Structure 1
């Protein structure tokens, strides 16, 4: 594709204020053409309009060179995005037209490099993907139009990552319907292998070929135009490239999901190396609506083969455990995966030792999203065959944890069920007294003594006093932080957040767990907790001007650095670049400087806050800048 940057006219005519005069001139020229698409769209007579548009769809691919093809396809793309369920164009032959354009772009490189034809395959595949989002009838028509072979060529990388993005999107929609799935599955092994490779390598590819190119003049011009629609500079290009790269990865995973749901090609998808890669595929703050890697892992956990493969990977299990004790939007998916593995007799004892030490902190969850009594479900799953389990588990810590869960959720619950209100009130007074003693010890810097007193208060505090127990757990977590015991701090903070109402809303516990995750080098988990902490701080303020603590903005800045979508790609590219510099004096591109990267992080921060819908975001951004 490097040769494509140097040939042909690379600037399409977009619908922007800067091109209004050009569009007017184009329209005047088009109006002289009896077969003009735009003229047909203006036709008042419905029958003539339909006949004219159908004729345009048939004739457009047959016309060798027409500079207005890009303008027409760009308009069709806008229409398809705005009205994906409208049957008019699909009934008039738009899919045959788009297929012909795709085939022409793939097979006739000379035509592709003339005028603005380089843009046509992108728009054609995007139109196909938009119309097949919701309608199985449209998907069937697309298959009959023969679009899958040219889409496969784009998926193979016949052009570039930009075209791969729209090709995998279209194939994903086609594979999501029963009536069009088999047409995609005709290329099953190749589709799965290519898509797995694309999901694993696309971020590195986009960084190396676009985002990491310091000399902006060396970026592919037509990529820049597609990303920004002709408006915006390099900052906009970087932002959009990041979003598109995330979409490319997430749409690749969506296509794989279509096969995994049917338990197809699991022997390929469940390869250990790819399962580990999935843990690092985070929809994150750029594409926050997608569960990304963990979404596919959960689908795999619904199959016997998938559970066996996942249970064999300690790294995948560890990532699921960390997710289950986080404030990530997909926390429930991590919990679901662990519960599915624990309920399967063939995988239960492969995972119980690691899963127990995380899930015991969640047994008092009341609800999470639309899931109610989740803590009770976790308890029942952990205590399945409790007496027999003790003989099959070798780890004494795990046995102790299960015993504590049994005592807390079964025995203690029964004892306190018959406790009178007067007795509960007496206990409340006693607990407050012990808590004040613990607080005093804490301020005297006798942290270990304070921990003992907080523990005594927790043992005496009735289970129904959830708010009091939340505060005690959170204060004990703070003590563990001072003792530099992040694991204990995470455990107590998590228990406090399970007791908060709503779940994961106690600000002090979020901040303490964010610090503890930072100590362990778990940047994503630390970042999500810090975002939730700031969000809660803003929502609790009544003043218009919100002041965000400096320590929180500093933590976010640090974790954004570590969790940036291209962080791994940048790290690898920097190492490769340094190696090449020692061998060659001329490079095709340069890696972005640290200053450029920090600017990218600032922009990412802005997007993060917008996507998380944080109130008074403008004030927050002012304080971070």
Structure 2
């Protein structure tokens, strides 16, 4: 009855919804094709509703060929052009939403099928998308434009059409990736006066049903997506070794180090993914080898529990394989890779430790002569002893000798534990080292425990680098890799000592994950010290942390305090707690946490970030030492 009533009352001969409800398929196609042709030429309040519906259909059924075959791409391109060129029309009614939806429709229909991408290119979508990418409207439209261009650039058959604008596309994507977080923060998230935020942005972010908290959370997600889609577009060019002279600029490579998909957009490899693509080219490896910050970032990533750890390892191995970069980076990265030589499998990759060992020992005599660094020389000798000499000797050991060693190691470990309890940390450290020297390589679990206990000693002695090294070795020996909870917590503390917030956060997340999975009750309590660490590191790794810092440094905060009664700190605390609650929720989903932890999440979210900021690692280390150092 409703549809009949609508047909009787509708006076528009080109009504999209009437055509959509037409039972006769041929009439339906004719009607919708006419609608797509006339829509950019007419003024109708229903256009926004039609575009919103088309976006929903494109997102849910992106492989349906009906609309692409009826001229939807040309229609969307013309609507974008009209929005850019006719400001009066754009600002009339709700037309401001149309370019956003139009670009989103193009991106959704071209993300899976190359034939749709070819139709889109032939319909002339690239020039209007480029106008949006240039920032002719706002960052919201840039987000969907770069998404659509990324899909078009990902196909061999349509890449060249995007590459017509090669240098401009790459330059814009680089600039946008480097600045978009600041733009979104300064123009949206950091705006305290709700009336100063663009209304159509607020409505797009939450479909018009959200409050300021939800809008800010969604803006954070969109900002992360905008950055990651820019990097995806750059990946398309880097894979074909196009514009590497631009992409490999040192200032941009430095910016890449801070582009982390993180917990908001955890599925994207972000900066690490682009760095790895660059490492597949000789030009890219040369540029990366010259960037100390990138090398440090890759080294820290390789010794982390980040999902993209394997990318860090891959990049370092590619640099070692290339003789033109090997000796530039060997002195630095060898000290990091030494800790990974006993790593077995990582995801679908196997025998990673063996591959690392072969590359490190490839010309170890030459390296020892070339680098006069005592640490490098000692590390190479230790690696040779561990992977060559000890293997050879242990093959000749009889079973009785092996069991005798097991007993001796147990006794030495007991002595070390006793010294630890007495507070004789340095003496305990020496005993754990003695036990490790005697422990056969096949006793992986025993060696894991010894390395982990030695890491605890290093922590108490405030030697963060050695603590990271030993806990990493313990995690390589665990089964599966990176699963030993105590070592994760110890390395998290050590990373915190060094100010490496992201690495500390990821280890702490994995530590909590282990606590949850090992719990026998439905209501799992997260250790308070880990909750405080999470709170502290979430502040430091928040997507807009740098932008917020820039705001404070520039003095804008002072002006806001003066105009708003000086309550900036209290507002920050409130927003911070909301942020932590949402981030913890996504963190638990993204890192494969089991269900039933809402109470624990709320407990973490309620922690005052100012208290967390004063959290002292040494105090916590001393508190838990009595609980779990001695296995």
Give the TM-score taking structure 1 as reference length.
Answer: 0.93
SS of residue in 2 equivalent to 1:225 = helix
Is residue 379 of structure 1 aligned with residue 357 of structure 2?
A: yes
Q: Could you tell me which residue of structure 2 aligns to residue 41 of structure 1? A: 20
1:352 corresponds to which of 324, 330, 333? 330
Does structure 1 conserve the Cα–Cα contact (< 8 Å) formed by 2:420 and 2:428? yes
Is residue 77 of structure 1 aligned with residue 55 of structure 2?
A: yes
Report the Cα offset of residue 292 of structure 1: 0.3
- The one-character-per-residue Cα deviations of 1:220-252 (angstroms, maximum 9, x if unpaired) are 100000000121211110111000000000000
Q: Could you tell me which residue of structure 2 aligns to residue 180 of structure 1? A: 158
After TM superposition, the structure 1 stretch with the greater mean CA deviation from structure 2, 84-93 or 614-623, is: 614-623
Does structure 2 conserve the Cα–Cα contact (< 8 Å) formed by 1:30 and 1:38? no
Is residue 128 of structure 1 aligned with residue 101 of structure 2?
A: no
Q: Could you tell me which residue of structure 2 aligns to residue 17 of structure 1? A: none
Does structure 2 conserve the Cα–Cα contact (< 8 Å) formed by 1:474 and 1:508? yes
Pairs within 5 Å for 1:234-249: 234-249=212-227
Q: Could you tell me which residue of structure 2 aligns to residue 57 of structure 1? A: 36
1:619 corresponds to which of 599, 604, 628? 599
Distance of 1:104 and 1:586 partners within structure 2: 40
Change (3 A) 1:586 1:189: farther
Report the Cα offset of residue 175 of structure 1: 0.6
Does structure 2 conserve the Cα–Cα contact (< 8 Å) formed by 1:154 and 1:163? yes
Does structure 1 conserve the Cα–Cα contact (< 8 Å) formed by 2:581 and 2:601? no
Distance of 1:605 and 1:561 partners within structure 2: 12
- The one-character-per-residue Cα deviations of 1:471-514 (angstroms, maximum 9, x if unpaired) are 00000000010001010100000000000001000000000000
Q: Could you tell me which residue of structure 1 aligns to residue 453 of structure 2? A: 475
Distance of 1:286 and 1:243 partners within structure 2: 6
Is residue 265 of structure 1 aligned with residue 243 of structure 2?
A: yes
Report the Cα offset of residue 27 of structure 1: 6.0
1:335 corresponds to which of 309, 313, 338? 313
Q: Could you tell me which residue of structure 2 aligns to residue 107 of structure 1? A: 85
* Structure 2 portions without partners, runs of 5+: 607-631
2:419 corresponds to which of 436, 441, 444? 441
1:139 corresponds to which of 117, 123, 141? 117
Is residue 198 of structure 1 aligned with residue 160 of structure 2?
A: no
What is the RMSD of the two structures over their aligned residues, measured on CA atoms?
Answer: 2.0
Higher relative contact order (CA 8 A, sep 6+): 1
SS of residue in 2 equivalent to 1:371 = coil
* Structure 1 portions without partners, runs of 5+: 1-22
Q: Could you tell me which residue of structure 1 aligns to residue 612 of structure 2? A: none
Change (3 A) 1:53 1:582: closer
- The one-character-per-residue Cα deviations of 1:130-170 (angstroms, maximum 9, x if unpaired) are 01101111111111111111111101100000000000000
Is residue 419 of structure 1 aligned with residue 405 of structure 2?
A: no
Report the Cα offset of residue 579 of structure 1: 7.7
Q: Could you tell me which residue of structure 2 aligns to residue 252 of structure 1? A: 230
Pairs within 5 Å for 1:129-528: 129-528=107-506
SS of residue in 1 equivalent to 2:77 = helix
After TM superposition, the structure 1 stretch with the greater mean CA deviation from structure 2, 531-540 or 614-623, is: 614-623
Does structure 2 conserve the Cα–Cα contact (< 8 Å) formed by 1:261 and 1:299? yes
Does structure 2 conserve the Cα–Cα contact (< 8 Å) formed by 1:547 and 1:623? no
Distance of 1:164 and 1:282 partners within structure 2: 20
- The one-character-per-residue Cα deviations of 1:93-145 (angstroms, maximum 9, x if unpaired) are 10011011011111111110111100000000000000110111111111111
Distance of 2:3 and 2:204 partners within structure 1: 21
SS of residue in 1 equivalent to 2:93 = coil
Distance of 1:115 and 1:133 partners within structure 2: 31
Does structure 2 conserve the Cα–Cα contact (< 8 Å) formed by 1:610 and 1:617? no
Q: Could you tell me which residue of structure 1 aligns to residue 610 of structure 2? A: none
Report the Cα offset of residue 417 of structure 1: 2.1
SS of residue in 2 equivalent to 1:39 = helix
Q: Could you tell me which residue of structure 1 aligns to residue 617 of structure 2? A: none
Distance of 1:446 and 1:378 partners within structure 2: 36
Give the TM-score taking structure 2 as reference length.
Answer: 0.92
Change (3 A) 1:424 1:217: same
